[in-house]
Amino acid sequence: MGPTASGKTRLAFELCDHLNAEIISVDSALVYRGLNIGSAKPTAQELQRYPHRLVDIRDPANPYTAADFRRDALAAMADITAQGKVPLLVGGTMLYFKALLDGLVELPPIEPTIRASIERQAKTSGWPALHAELTQCDPETAANLHPNHSQRICRALEVYRGTGRPLSHWRRQQAEQALPYRLLQLAVAPAERTLLHQRIEQRLTTMFASGFVDEVRQLYQRGDLDRNLPAIRAVGYRQVWEYL
């Protein structure tokens, strides 16, 4: 695991050259078909040499959740180990890693209109105001969120308004979902942040030169996608979407 452009994929390839391993992608953008350039998806040649599980498995119109990932990752891990290989989980979506390691809260269904109402309120009042509201109804969750962390504030308020109980309550009710594996967690992070920033800048420049805007334009012109879908909210994609 590690930040964007830290060298996770290259290291994973090198590990596969030395170990009897198979890669499971832990990336919330790589799961979607058509999100190639902006997600820094491995090339077709790389995927052929180093097969990845959980890449190109969903259409962007069909949201993929952390719960979906946990289910699919566990199935892939079981299949890989049954073949006598080592599952190598590689990516930077920390929510997916957390879901795999800690399990997930089982929540009752929540009406979509509740989220829509919260998002309308955010447009007029701003997310800091909603964070202040969350402090009143769920201070434990609010204390761990930045006032502008829109996605998590929205989720916490959505849970409270939809169930009448704060998200912190549901997390305490969560039963431990132990994994039948011994995991070795490795974080890749350059010692110098300036070097990481240089790599990210170079990657972005290369993406634009490779046709990133045209890739997003093709998604935009489909007509069945919008900015509220997780695929379009992915970093890079949402900014180009707004530009278009």
Whole-number average pLDDT of the chain: 94
pLDDT on residue 108: 79
Class of domain 112-173: mainly alpha
Query: How far apart (Å, rounded) are the C-alpha atoms in residues 159 and 107?
Result: 8
| 208-223 tens-digit pLDDT | 999 999 999 999 999 9
Residue 174 pLDDT: 67
Q: Where are the domains of the chain?
A: 8-104+179-243, 112-173
Could you give the residue ranges of the DSSP H alpha helices within the chain?
Answer: 8-18, 44-49, 66-82, 94-102, 112-125, 127-137, 139-142, 150-163, 167-173, 193-209, 212-220, 230-233, 237-243
Q: How far apart are CA 18 and CA 213, in angstroms?
A: 37
pLDDT at 20: 96
Dump pLDDT digits (tens) for 17-27. Answer: 999 999 999 99
176 falls in which pLDDT band (50, 70, 90)?
Answer: low
Using only C-alpha atoms, the chain has a radius of gyration, in whole angstroms, of: 19
User: Could you give the C-alpha distances from 161 to 16, 62, 143, 175, in angstroms and in order?
Assistant: 47, 25, 18, 23
Supply the pLDDT for residue 164: 94
Asked whether the beta carbons of 23 and 53 are under 8 A apart, the reply is yes
d(CA 226, CA 238): 10
Q: Report the range out of 107-121, 148-162, 207-221 with the highest average pLDDT.
A: 207-221
pLDDT mean over 133-146 = 96
Percent above pLDDT 90 for the chain: 87
Tokens for 53, please give them: 């599980």
CATH superfamily of the 8-104+179-243 domain: P-loop containing nucleotide triphosphate hydrolases (3.40.50.300)
- pLDDT attached to residue 75: 97
